Homo-oligomer: A and B are copies of this chain.
Amino acid sequence: MSAAVTARARARTELEREIKETARRHLAEQGAAALSLRAVARELGLASSALYRYYPSRDALLTALIVDAYDALGDVAEQAAGGPAPGAGARWLAVCRSVRTWALEHRHEWALLYGTPVPGYAAPQDTIGPATRPARVLADVLMAGVADGTLRPPARRLPGPRLATSAVAGLVGGSPAAPYDDLLDRAVVLLVALVGAVSYELFGHSRNAFTDDAAWFAVAMAVAAEGVGLDLPLG
């Protein structure tokens, strides 16, 4: 047997998939703290020790789930940004809405990405790339907005030195020129408002505060965007 892929290799790939899928379901139902290798093995009818042929530790499995979650969220955001909406404001609003929807459908995965860090767990290198995808999406939308004029320059320049590092500037291919030279410092507020608003709702802090959470979310994104020179098309 050597038909490019052996039966053993196929079985391995398949079980690898099943393990991750089961783990993801447990994560979705109980949260990261309750994710246990033994429980996953039990459900798959395996000895718990068998999982160590696939992941060297619980943390490794968790890392795989984190990377997948960042990628799923990144896909959703990129797709929304690439939609037909005209202008940076409309595109950003579409991104925000898609992120919120994904978060509502994947509460525990959202918590894993943006909630309290799992104690004792240090995110390894592999997560860094996927984690910056939403920021990249924002960067692209804003740069397009600068290019097509749908991003207003700020009314006045922020005082003091610029604060965004070259890591941030790298996302937009270098620091923008005047009159947008304080754009990077401003822009991260959009990310913070997005993540903050979603977490605020998801973690239960806006309970009983609004008659329509989805509508308020859009308002919040629009209000935050005003400070960045972006007009989000409401209603």
A179 beta carbon closer than 8 Å to chain B: no
A146 at the interface (CB under 8 A from B): no
Contact of A227 among B204, B210, B227 (CB under 8 A): B227
* A117 with B204, Cβ < 8 A, contacts A188-B220, A234-B158 known: yes
**Inside 8 A of A111's CB, which chain B residues have their CB?**
116
Q: When the two chains form their complex, are residues B226 and A164 in contact, meaning their CB atoms are under 8 A apart?
A: no
A189-B193, A189-B224 are known; give 4 further A-B pairs, CB within 8 A.
Answer: A158-B219, A159-B234, A186-B223, A188-B206
Residue of B at shortest CB range from A197? Answer: B192
Cβ–Cβ contact A163 & B211, under 8 A: yes
Chain B contacts of A212 at CB under 8 A? 163
- B-side contacts of A9, CB under 8 Å: none
The answer to whether A129 has its CB under 8 Å from any CB of chain B is: no
